[in-house]
Structure 1
Amino acid sequence: MLVMHVNWSDVFSRYMFLYGSKVWALCTKGVERLHWGRRDSMGLWPHLSGKKWPSQWAILLLTLFLQTVVFFYTFIQNPVSLSATEKIRTMNTQMFAHQINHLDSATRLDVNKSSFTGSEDLRFPLEIDMPEIVRRTFAGLAISHKPINQPNFTYVIPNSGKCSRLTARYGKPPELLILIKTAPMNFLRRDAIRLSWGNEKCWGGRRVVRLFLLGTVLPTEKEMSRRLESEANHHNDIVQQDFHDNYYNNTYKLMLGFEWAIRFCSSVPIIMFVDDDFFVYPKNVVAYIEGLSVALRERLFSGYIWQNAMPVRKEVRKRKWSVTWQEYPNSYYPPYVAAGNFFVSMTIAKEISVASKYTQYLRFDDVFLGIILKKLVRTPMHLNHIYAFVPVNESSAQINSMLSSHHYGNPSSQLALWSRLKCREFCIKAST
């Protein structure tokens, strides 16, 4: 081992000559500032002038000075090796780090907390921390905000036992709940769907529940009301609430679906919402759902996404979709999924149901859902195999990979495509 003899007396003398007085001055000034908050007459730290130092600074400086004195008296008469010098350096470094860490923890500075909702770029009531509202609701905790969107509609046809009967029959809950938004007068569309993709036995042996969602007709439409009642009794697949069924009440119809699923079919993992003018390809839908990871199945919200859509303002030719600044005070809609067909997990459905009560009503159901997802800080997943606006090209390869397609309101076209795709081969009784 290499040994180097050091004249420590000379080293210490030079050190004290150059730095000793300044270290001592710093220590004494630290003590003075600790007790009396005197001004920094030496001008060493002008930015601290007139302020009291924290006690930890004075303790740190005094410790450094005392270490120097101890160091001198311990080693001044004894030559040491380089290895001993390294040990001393390591010891001093550790002691200094301990002092600094103690100083950091003891001088934690307070800040004024900011409030974030997760959707600061969206002005739409209520502008609150929606994930926290959901968390407190699920935990049964008190909530300081009151709901602003809680319509009290009554079930005309509840059909509350639909899922429980399937569960009792197979000993397992449904794997998929299909909620079809329909209008009261669309009797032929509903019949075509029951004969094709809406047939619960044509989903490859999976446990599926199909239901049609609708509101009520006008009091003057007695014949239609009578036919609806007869249809519901015969097929046992209609859920109806007492809001008037029209285009601008589609959001109520959508929330009816969420409410019914959570209340009467909460064990189902996935819900598919679809309009009655869509064609659905069961084989591909099953392949899509069963290909999802466990994490995605738990937090699913997917469909055809619209990005950077702008509200229509006072355009006569598009009056159906126009919205005032008072109704929606933003230049762009948040990303939203076309409401004609989308998929949602039960977990996310429950979050949406809670958040909807604290979100101002908007008559466009897909935009309303987009606003809620934005407030929940949830990102929908895009599915380009849903042809939500332009119908699928039946003469191309698109038709074999599609999940669903819009513009099949004609019952004949529904049944024709069902036959062409040989979908009946996927019809089999569900397994127990």
Structure 2
Amino acid sequence: MNFSIKTRANVMLSIFILVSCSAVTILVFWSSPNDQITREKSLIYLKNLAIESDYIKDKSISSTSQPHHHSEYKSRRSDWNALMHLTPDSLSPRIFYNPCKSVETAKSDANKEMRLLPIPTRSPLFSSMRVPHPENVDVASELCRFKNGLQLSNTTRNLMDSNWTDAISSRLLYDAVTVCDMNRLDRVIDLLVVISSRPYRAQQRGLIRKYWARDNCYAGRNVRHVFLTGIPPKGDVEEVIKLLSEARQENDLVVQSFDDPDIWANTHKLFLGLQWSLAYCKYAKLVLFTSDEIFLVPENVIGFIESVSDSAREHLVAGEFYKHALVQRNIKHPEHVPFSEFALSEWPDFVNLQATFIGAELLLDLYIAARMVRLVRHSAGFLGITLLRLQILPWGMPNLYITKDKLDTLQSNKVRQTHLVAALLPENNDLSQNETFASWWKLHDCEKMCIAENLGS
């Protein structure tokens, strides 16, 4: 009895000391001469911590009736952390696609080469080190080392750490862990749509949810949607709170703590999309990277994904193709890239990230290779560099995407019946965004793709 009372007293004393130390720390911090932005960001952290704690409590309560979901969520978050630190021994085997040669095959090839007559040494026609950006890292070789369970070289790891310090240190404020939940009838997810957004575009996200982001409007195919965004810069506390409240209510919004908008934000979102897809949506066969400035046509999306064979999907990166695109040096241009960041005058071949399909088998390769490429602010150009280092040529799809200067052709039945998947929404038009969405939805007769409405009719 005395032991129990003494133990309880010790526990209470420990709690009192901990609370007192925390209070003193906060008081000292608040009275120190930090700038206003630092204080506001600290307030963001504290408020978000409260929201996150409530979310975890709610999730733990709802997970008690579905223990398999609870373990799955834990697995997804574990894979996220493993991808963050690139520790191959702790990655879930479900995210691996390993086309690299086994050790036995490599030994067999080596023995075969020993029996061949030697030829003069020459440079390879194709090499993952062709592009002098950044240092001479053999990306393909390092990728195979990692996927065969070996540690990356110190040179590569140091390069990756220095290149991606800001991206890796960004905190995941909301992870939308439930987006890719599977029911007992689901085998795979046919398509994951990753939508790049911005913190202040809540109205646009609402319209997209109302129209083409309805998962039941793809004629019974298993389609999921997720939005990606950073947080408002300069410590806009109220906007961050609204953003996190929306994320919690809708459960389809991933929020990371990088500044958005920012010159690096689009590249950060590409990187975030690759990592989130690998960790949180392992059963997706195909991923479509797009933005909240796009109108997707569900019927044509289905037509495209069903035209891609399993073998083609293993190497698929498809979109509006750009070849010999010049690097913009005009400092006033929104796509300006300084010479010190990327020295070549032309980008490697790339596809427009407003609508780009990537086969799920390529995601891990792209993610790891992207960590080995020096960060550039032009997200599509960055993807082009990464693809070249992997010796992958993107596919150009001329009818996949339509630009603002050709929006009038949407009225043509001929255009609507092609493989057109996406159209860029006009910035300044006579109609409101809601009316634009409604008119285009009706123009393409998209409602016929919605299972629930059709069943009810």
Report the TM-score, using the length of structure 1 for normalisation: 0.70
Match of 2:273 among 237, 241, 257: 257
Structure exhibiting the larger radius of gyration computed from Cα positions: 1
User: Which residue number corresponds to residue 309 of structure 1?
Assistant: 325
Contact preservation (8 Å) 1:202, 1:424? yes
How far off is 1:423 after superposition?
0.4
- The one-letter code of the counterpart of 1:426 is M
Contact preservation (8 Å) 1:390, 1:406: no
User: Residue 332 of structure 1 is aligned with which of 336, 342, 346?
Assistant: 346
SS in 2 for 1:366: helix
Q: In structure 1, what is the equivalent of residue 170 of structure 2? A: 153
Report the count of equivalent residues: 322
Maintained 8 Å contact 2:176/2:247 = no
Shift of 1:137: 1.3
Task: Check if 1:421 corresponds to 2:444.
Answer: yes
Q: Which residue of 1 aligns with 2:302?
A: 286
Tell me which residue corresponds to 1:68: none
Deviation of 1:400 after TM superposition, in Å, equals 3.0
User: Residue 150 of structure 2 is aligned with which of 141, 149, 168?
Assistant: 141
- The TM-score, its normalising length taken from structure 2, stands at 0.66
Counterpart of 1:162 (choices 152, 176, 179) is: 179
Aligned with residue 421 of structure 2, among 384, 403, 420: 403
Aligned to 2:228: 213
Q: CA deviation at 1:367?
A: 0.5
Runs of 4+ in 1 over 6 A off after TM superposition: none
8 Å Cα contact 2:286-2:358 kept in structure 1: yes
Instruction: Provide the residue aligned with 1:123 in structure 2.
Output: 132
What SS does structure 2 have at the residue aligned with 1:162? coil
Once the two structures are TM-superposed, the CA of residue 135 in structure 1 deviates from its matched residue by: 1.3
SS of alignment partner, residue 170 of structure 1: coil
Superposition deviation, residue 154 in structure 1:
1.5
Structure 2 residue 377 is matched with structure 1 residue 354: no
Aligned partner of 1:267 in structure 2 is 283
Match among 233, 238, 247 for residue 253 of structure 2: 238
Q: Which blocks of at least 5 consecutive residues in structure 2 are unaligned?
A: 1-113, 428-432
- 1:199 and 1:107 map into 2 onto residues whose CA distance is 59
Task: Spell out the pairing of 1:34-183 with structure 2 (5 A cutoff).
Answer: 108-109=117-118, 111-112=120-121, 114=123, 118-119=127-128, 121-144=130-153, 145-146=156-157, 147=160, 148-150=162-164, 151-163=168-180, 165=181, 167-168=182-183, 170-183=185-198
Compared CA separation, residues 152 and 116, structure 1 to 2 (3 A): farther
Q: 1:275: Cα distance to partner?
A: 0.7
Between the aligned partners of 2:280 and 2:235, the Cα distance in structure 1 is 32
Once the two structures are superposed, residues 344-395 of structure 1 have per-residue CA deviations (whole angstroms, 9 ceiling, x without a partner) of 0111111110001110000111100000001100011111121145343222
Q: Which amino acid aligns with 1:122?
A: V
Residue in 2 that maps onto 1:102: none
CA shift digits 1:198-219 (9 cap, x unpaired): 1111011111111110001235
- Cα distance, 1:231 vs. partner? 1.5
Query: In 2 relative to 1, CA 391–214 (structure 1 residues): closer, same or farther, beyond 3 Å?
Result: farther
| Separation (CA, whole Å) in 1 of partners of 2:380 and 2:247 | 27
Aligned to 1:365: 379
Partner amino acid, structure 2, of 1:285:
V
Structure 2 equivalent of residue 185 of structure 1:
200
Residue 330 of structure 1 aligns with an amino acid whose one-letter code is L
SS at match of 1:384: coil
Contact 1:304 1:388 in 2 (8 A): no
Match of residue 322 from structure 1: 336
